[in-house]
Copies of this chain bind each other. A is one copy, B any other.
């Protein structure tokens, strides 16, 4: 008679919702995502979403909080392995790049949120971005003090790193498409893997910071 499987595992169910919400929100954006579609992705009843989360916005906040925390802790943990600004900077970029590549919903969600200064969750986004930026800024500032980085404007450099990496991740399918059509001499980096990209980016950022002019 059991025509349905009742999981009755609240932790698992909640996580299931969050996981699918990440997928959905990153694909369709906040407004474009429907709770109906979400629940059917989870093979769960629609009302369950509202049982675990206050409302759509609450779910979105939970989703964003989760992924923003995840990237933050990933980066900060990796950062502990290094003891000089040069390595720390390299580590920051490499780690962010790898994370963005293996969790491609992060760039999608981040760019969407940043594209309107966090219209949906200003405070949360605000706090998270600040924490990550603080770390990045600290690295550069210390590097400047130690004389290995010159002419540093952390905010701009921060968006340079994040902008480049996030856009390269989100446009991957677009660039692959382009590669099929484009002339021989235009390279869209369609086949570049994330390591090549971050190596190049690191090299260039280092060149940037080596001298004043």
Q: Interface of A with B (CB < 8 Å)?
A: 26-32, 107-109, 111-112, 114-119, 122, 125-126, 129-130, 133-134, 137, 141, 151, 153-156, 159-160, 162-164, 166-168, 170-175, 177-178, 182, 185-189, 197, 200-201, 203-204, 207-208, 210-211, 213
Query: How far is it, in angstroms, between the C-alpha of A28 and the C-alpha of B117 when the chains are bound?
Result: 11
Query: How far is it, in angstroms, between the C-alpha of A2 and the C-alpha of B171 when the chains are bound?
Result: 48
Q: Give chain A's interface secondary structure class.
A: helix
**10 nearest interchain CB pairs?**
A163-B163, A31-B32, A111-B115, A31-B31, A159-B167, A155-B189, A117-B174, A204-B208, A160-B164, A117-B173
**Copies in the assembly, this chain:** 4
Nearest neighbor of A182 in chain B, beta-carbon distance: B130
Q: How far is the CB of A23 from chain B (nearest CB, A)?
A: 12
A115-B126 in contact (CB<8A): no
Chain B residues with CB under 8 A of A28:
31, 116, 119
Query: How far is it, in angstroms, between the C-alpha of A164 and the C-alpha of B66 when the chains are bound?
Result: 25
Nearest neighbor of A206 in chain B, beta-carbon distance: B213
Query: How far is it, in angstroms, between the C-alpha of A154 and the C-alpha of B185 when the chains are bound?
Result: 11
Query: How far is it, in angstroms, between the C-alpha of A30 and the C-alpha of B31 when the chains are bound?
Result: 8
Q: How far is the CB of A124 from chain B (nearest CB, A)?
A: 12
Chain B residues with CB under 8 A of A108:
115-116
